Structure 1
Amino acid sequence: MYPNESNVHHIQRHPDYYINGGDLYFLVDHYQFRVHRYFFERESAFFRGKLTVPAAPGANRLGTDVSSAIVLDGVKSNAFAKFLWVFYNPKFSIYTAPVDDWADILTLAHRWGFPEVKALCIRELEQLFMSDIDRIVLYQDHDVDRHLLLPQYAALCEREQPINLHEGLRLGLETTIMLARARECARAPLNNGLRSPSSANIDQSEIHAIIRDLFGLKASLPSPPNQDATNGVNGIHAGGWVTIS
């Protein structure tokens, strides 16, 4: 896909990620990125499939120069820059970023199949504050192991307020129904045969067991994301545009 002529005149090199020695070119929004092919071929089957296709006779191999730059459709240049920061972070294993940045990186890592980058995002997000609803929605949208959401599911079952309409729309029908059932079980009949309208009547371990049963989760939590998840993330420092969604 080729940008129209009016857009071509506004294209400029990205101030941080047009790297001398880079051998892979991207066009995102109106910015040219020049980075290292190694990162994209090493971990992502999605990009390996795109980048290993032989070029047509007389054409340049995909992404090898400005004329064959890969256009990333539906991606903002600032989000792509955040994603590249994972590989070019000068502080090696020290990654400091706010929740919104990690969410953007997680989105691209999940879309393009970068498991090590995804694990890094989860590791860092687990150390940052997020509301229970926000964490559940983010993790569910990106197929993160639901075992990690057990504390958030439990908190929604234990709180006095039921899940409201806005929260239910964000959580999705399945999760909302499962949590409603868990809340009902947690408010088991008291001596007078009535359920508590506010607080749960059982201890947290029992609530966890109810949630695990309803969501089909194993009894033991998985190990936290590898603290060495950055190993293999930082590696080195250093014809026509094709659109990739």
Structure 2
Amino acid sequence: MGTENNVNGATGPSKDEPGLSSPTAGSSKSPVSANRNSRYYLDDSMAIFLVENQLFKVHRYFFRQESVIFESMFDCPAPGDGQDGRTDSKPIEIPEVTCAQFEALLDHFYDGLFKKDEYFNRDTPLQKYIDLLSISHRFECSTARERAIKGIDNATTNAIQMIELAEMYDVPKWLLPAYVELCRREEALNETEAIDLGPRKTVMIYRARETIRSSKETRQFLHNRHSSYGYSDDWPDNVFEKSRVERIINEILVPPSTPTPQWGQGTTPPIGRGKKAGKARPVR
């Protein structure tokens, strides 16, 4: 028969039938050829960085995934005993980056991934997002840059600071709203703001403010309001209408020979074009 009873009376495969038993000692079975998974066979080796006067020992994986610039650091010089980043005595040096900026990037990699919203939330200081934007812009870390921009979008900032950040880190969508705020507000630029902006932008903002308040179009608005409602110290609403202010700013800040760009839609603004990123000013 093909089966035999075991001690419990159950039937199972006989010695002559194929079953789930292990191969006999004399059988020859070739080893399975295993391929490394393209997504989850991780390079989990560590890298040692020197930032200012501090050493950081962190996983290379995040840096390779996020930035081709960081990835190239791991291959220079050629792998071997002398490769940078293997020992404390020969770290990968990151010049012109502060420890705060580097820690902001590491928080994005580690705490931002595994402890969601612990280090990046509504209570996160604006300066931390600026630090993250600075280092992510310099080393082309796209997801860190997106996180920094989103954080700054939701933070309390002032118009002068947004213009500085937009030009330093190439975020054109911040420019037009900042110029609109400066041109619509009642107070003119003060001395400190004029120094921060520089003479060219200061003059153009003054021109835009003057045009908004005293152009022929504005005088017509005032005449129509006075004719309908009598004299008033208040400006007519249409004088500071957002679309009108944006139009005037574009007409003054953009050279007449060039098409008017729609800032914030992937175009580069005429002011601060292509500035090399540097260290951001501390939050005032």
Q: TM-score, normalised by structure 2?
A: 0.60
Give the corresponding residue for 2:197: 171
Distance in 1 (CA, whole Å) between partners of 2:138 and 2:198 is 20
Task: Extract structure 1 runs of 4+ deviating beyond 4 A.
Answer: none
Match of 2:98 in 1: 76
Query: Which of 155, 161, 169 is equivalent to 1:142?
Result: 169
SS class of match (1:84): helix
How much has 1:106 moved relative to structure 2?
1.1
CA distance in 2, matches of 1:199, 1:66: 66
State the partner residue of 2:62.
39
Distance in 1, matches of 2:125 and 2:212, equals: 35
Whether the aligned pair in 2 keeps the contact of 1:209 and 1:219 (CA below 8 Å) is: no
Describe the shift of the 1:154–1:25 C-alpha distance in structure 2 as closer, same or farther (beyond 3 A). Answer: same
Shift in CA distance, 126/52, structure 1 to aligned 2, threshold 3 Å:
same
How far residue 22 of structure 1 moved from its aligned partner, in angstroms, is 5.1
1:221 positional shift: 4.5
Residue by residue, what CA displacement relative to the aligned partner does 1:191-238 show, whole Å, maximum 9, x if unpaired?
699xxxx96934221111222344455347539xxxxxxxxxxxxxxx
Aligned residue for 2:182? 156
Q: Which residue is equivalent to 1:222?
A: 265
Mapping of 1:1-245 within 5 angstroms? 23-55=46-78, 59-89=81-111, 90-92=114-116, 95-96=120-121, 97-145=124-172, 147-187=173-213, 188-189=215-216, 190=219, 201-216=239-254, 218-219=261-262, 221-222=264-265
Aligned to 2:257: none
Q: Assess, with a 3 A threshold, how the Cα gap between structure 1 residues 164 and 220 changes in structure 2: closer, same or farther.
A: closer
Q: Residue 135 of structure 1 aligns to which amino acid in structure 2?
A: M
Match of 1:175, as an amino acid? K
Structure 1 residue 129: Cα displacement: 0.7
Aligned-residue offset at 1:54:
4.0
Q: Which has the larger radius of gyration?
A: 2
Note the alpha carbon deviations across 1:156-192, whole angstroms, 9 max, x for none. 0011222222112212334323322221221224269
- Following the alignment from structure 1 to structure 2, what is the Cα–Cα distance between the partners of residues 136 and 160? 19
Judge conservation of contact 1:55–1:62 (CA < 8 Å) in 2.
no
Structure with more relative contact order (C-alpha pairs < 8 Å, separation 6 or more): 1
Question: How many percent identity over aligned positions?
Answer: 29
SS at the partner of 2:89? helix
1:228 aligns with none
Displacement after TM superposition at 1:133 (Å): 1.5
Report the AA paired with residue 163 of structure 2.
I
Q: Helix, strand or coil: the match of 1:68?
A: coil
**Partner of residue 4, structure 2:** none
State the secondary structure of the residue aligned to 1:63. coil
Deviates most, 89-98 or 122-131: 89-98
Structure 1 residue aligned with 2:31: none
Work out the number of aligned pairs and report it. 197
The amino acid of 1:154's aligned partner reads V
1:180–1:65 Cα change, 3 Å: same
- Residue type at the aligned position of 2:246: H
Alignment-derived partner of residue 26 in structure 2: none
The equivalent residue for 1:230 is none
Extract unaligned runs of 5+ from structure 1.
1-20, 224-245
Cα 1:81–1:202 change in 2 (3 A) is closer
Counterpart residue type for residue 150 of structure 1: L
Distance in 2 separating the partners of 1:87 and 1:199: 51
